[in-house]
Structure 1
Amino acid sequence: MTAAPSPSPVLLSGPLLQDDPARVYRDMRREHGPVVSVLLDGDVPAWLVLGYRELHQVTGDAVLFSRDSDLWSQWENIPDDWPLLPMIGRKQPSILYTVGERHRERAAMLANALEAVDPSELRGYAEKFADELIDGICSRGRADVVGEYAMLLPVRVLARLYGFADDEGPGLVTALNDMIDGRERALAGQTHLFTSMMRLVADRKESPADDVVSRMLANPSGFTDEEIVQDLMVMMAAGHQPTADWIGNSLRLMLTDGRFAASLFGGRNSVAEAMNEVLWEDAPTQNVAGRWASRDTHLGGRRIHAGDLLLLGLQGANSDPQVRTDGSALTGGNSAHFSFGHGEHRCPFPAQEIAEVIARTGVEVVLDRLPDIDLAVPAPSLTRRPSPWLRGLTDLPATFTPTPALGGTLA
């Protein structure tokens, strides 16, 4: 089999995907096919997998396309201050880079710790924190619903579930955003998150409680403190920012698309439909790093060498015309999207349920408390963060009729 020649690599950084990622993915697919040669910050080479079938193949074969980052052939070219290190990492003992039986044991430990979260308690935390945040803006009649609400809600709920004190939430938000954006403050954000998790684990070893961290520490499989800290960092990062963007992107859709207008007056089915459409068309997690080829192979007509890095193009695969031949939105009850990943390393189901409860509660509380909410700016002027990894709004300016705060604080 002869591999097709590859066009010039695409620079996957800066504002490339900021304005119209759907067009960029179409252009990439037309020029490169389903597997695209790209360059990351510092001209580091990688492959971006945009094809639905190809992505299914990569995520479904954990041996050929491994999560073991030690396989990467580029480590000698990676500086210590490379801003994408928190997203890729070498020798990080987290579940992200663990393979085989040990990965399955850790995945079970995480799933069990999250599955034990009481659903009514989770919903109660989400509602109360959401109401607190709305109390802070409702009397003004105008607010940035992303910066003053969506970006603050998930981490506050997760921090409470894990065992953090409520006043640690704002610092965790800043650290997570810095780390995930993959820019100059990425390493500082990672350090803050790591030290916070270490402190929490030490506290819970001395004083166990009914929280996620205590349940992880009680697991009999013999995980080290560092392993637990690293897994907590993964869960917090994966649970906060994508969920915040899920809230923001869903509200944007509902405020700009007439199909969802009924939801602004109390409809509930449309909230779920809007949230599912976002997972197909405007996924919070656009691209993920990554997988590493354990041997030479072919994928999508490209020659992949042992040690090559493959990025998972979740949004590109969701919009692959090979599976979207009629241009349909594939929403409603269809959840065959890649927005939660696929295969052994997909997002654990209990984590998906927690994210969905937080996001749906976040959207519903806005619509309940601010029923006549509307955009304060023309829809085309809304902007996105310049990240190739996560797709979220920089802000969502909105107006609404001022209403009194409900009052009260979370006990």
Structure 2
Amino acid sequence: MTEPVTTPPPGCPAHRAAAQLYGPRFQTDPAQVYRELRAEHGPVAPVELAGGVPAWLVIGYRELQLVTSQPKLFGRDSSRWNAWPDIPADWPLRPMMTPVPSILYTEGAEHQRRASAIGETLGAVDPYELKKYCERIADRLIDSFAGRGEADLVAEYAHRMPLLVLCWLLGLDDAQVPVLIESLLAMLDGGPGAQEASQRLLTVMLELVEAKRAEPGADITSRLLVHPAQLSDDEVVRDLRVLLAAGHQPTAYWIANALRLMLTDDRFAASLVGGRRSVGQALGEALWEDTPTQIFAGRWAVRDTQLGGQRIAAGDLVLLGLAGANADPAVREAGGAAAEGNRAHLSFSHGEHRCPFPAQEAAEVIAATAVEVLLDRLPDLRLAVAEHALVWRPSAWVRALVALPVAFTPSTMAAGAFG
């Protein structure tokens, strides 16, 4: 059992009615927590992570843009965190914070070098070939449960779809999907096995790089190894782990959250049988209302500064509240809704560390194809439990369902029969 962190010093945000970013209440209704924080503290609020670890949560749209656009004030290198002396070695969230030499924690010219390699390599993916492969994977997965008349669209579909596509893009073997899913979930849930899961993923990436050095292929890994940025094998290994986690989890939960919306919201229910609201609209609304990455960790204050009316000390942890910023009344219509078609959400973050545009485009192809093919194949898809019975994952980082049970008319017709 993880020991609590020692009591923070006076002046730390944990001493000023910090809200807990864990527990049943936050897990069930984080949006209400964000509303209360905004009402009490404004756009930047004192919060507490599991184990009593203090941080600042940015839930103001403008403030989040400022934090992500000012690397000289808010840096990405977590080695400057002033709380490290009090963090237990077995703290379950440690894998998300530990300063490792990956693209996540680099800054300045070094970040530009590695980010350009990732962006250019992803940009070389043929979008038409990607779309066709996504359709094949979606059909293959649906074939595996279509005859039963029931399925869990999280475990059997949303988790597997983007990971199988990523395996193809990176040059990984499909047989590794089960252990990859288990490791990714353990790492992001922040449970007892989080650190071991993080190491397992690193081992898989190391084996992949060694294999592609010996026998290159038409995949992202092979292209990264010969990119003009001249990444070392260790750099490629670590950046591939980032690419795998960042590509899988948000895309998987984007698919699941959009499907939940279409199955539970009357405005979208008609679209299951060809109504006016499209899959694209559901995907867009899911990013505004239930963005898969709700909090990103994070930034660390380079020096003492002010942000959103709060005094931020040098080395303080500043969490990017993407979901909270998306809900900022300053960027909402009078009724509190996001304008239809508005893509100015912060779900892919902002600034130089945002999700690269080619990665955003690939994620949208994967997510849109997954939803479209599913609804085409199973047009009478319906939720198999009451909406209130759906359970959200106990994670501070993602807004994600544990399961999405559905029912439908069984079909023994395989994908090939659809031409």
TM bucket normalised to smaller:
over 0.9
Which of 36, 46, 63 is equivalent to 1:27?
A: 36
CA drift of 1:231 comes to 0.7
Aligned pair in 2 of structure 1 residues 148, 207: CA closer, same or farther (>3 Å)?
same
Preserved CA contact (<8 Å) 1:280 1:337: yes
- Show the counterpart of 2:57: 48
- Show the counterpart of 1:73: 82
CA drift of 1:220 comes to 2.2
| Corresponding position: 1:372 with 2:380 | yes
Q: Which has the higher contact order (CA 8 A, sep 6+)?
A: 1
CA distance in 2 between partners of 1:220 and 1:239 (Å): 23
CA drift of 1:45 comes to 1.2
CA distance in 1 between partners of 2:362 and 2:277 (Å): 19
CA RMSD of aligned residues (A): 1.6
Which of 290, 293, 298 is equivalent to 2:301?
A: 293
- Show the counterpart of 1:321: 329
CA drift of 1:268 comes to 8.4
- Show the counterpart of 1:250: 258
| Corresponding position: 1:346 with 2:350 | no
TM-score normalized with structure 1 length: 0.95
Query: What is the number of equivalent residue pairs in this alignment?
Result: 404
Alignment map for 1:108-187 (pairs within 5 Å): 108-187=116-195
SS for the counterpart of 1:310 is strand
- Show the counterpart of 1:199: 207
Unaligned runs of 5+ in 2: 1-10
SS for the counterpart of 2:27 is coil
Deviates more, 1:193-202 or 1:67-76: 67-76
SS for the counterpart of 1:164 is coil
Amino acid at match of 1:79: P
CA drift of 1:269 comes to 5.8
CA distance in 1 between partners of 2:24 and 2:164 (Å): 29
Deviates more, 1:303-312 or 1:113-122: 113-122
Amino acid at match of 1:183: G
- Show the counterpart of 1:209: 217
| Corresponding position: 1:88 with 2:97 | yes
Unaligned runs of 5+ in 1: none
Which of 372, 383, 406 is equivalent to 2:391?
A: 383
- Show the counterpart of 2:3: none
SS for the counterpart of 1:398 is strand
Preserved CA contact (<8 Å) 1:277 1:329: no
Preserved CA contact (<8 Å) 2:268 2:277: no
TM-score normalized with structure 2 length: 0.93
CA drift of 1:128 comes to 1.1
CA distance in 2 between partners of 1:312 and 1:60 (Å): 12
Identity %: 56
SS for the counterpart of 1:395 is coil
CA distance in 1 between partners of 2:381 and 2:277 (Å): 18
Aligned pair in 2 of structure 1 residues 331, 364: CA closer, same or farther (>3 Å)?
farther
Preserved CA contact (<8 Å) 1:276 1:331: no
CA distance in 2 between partners of 1:157 and 1:371 (Å): 24
| Corresponding position: 1:7 with 2:16 | yes
CA distance in 2 between partners of 1:323 and 1:348 (Å): 23
- Show the counterpart of 1:18: 27
| Corresponding position: 1:104 with 2:112 | yes
SS for the counterpart of 2:212 is helix
Amino acid at match of 1:388: A
CA drift of 1:407 comes to 5.9
Amino acid at match of 1:212: I
Preserved CA contact (<8 Å) 2:79 2:98: no
CA drift of 1:16 comes to 3.5
SS for the counterpart of 1:95 is coil
Residue deviations 1:335-384 (CA, integer Å, cap 9, x gap): 11110000010000000011111111110111011000011111222121
CA distance in 2 between partners of 1:323 and 1:131 (Å): 38
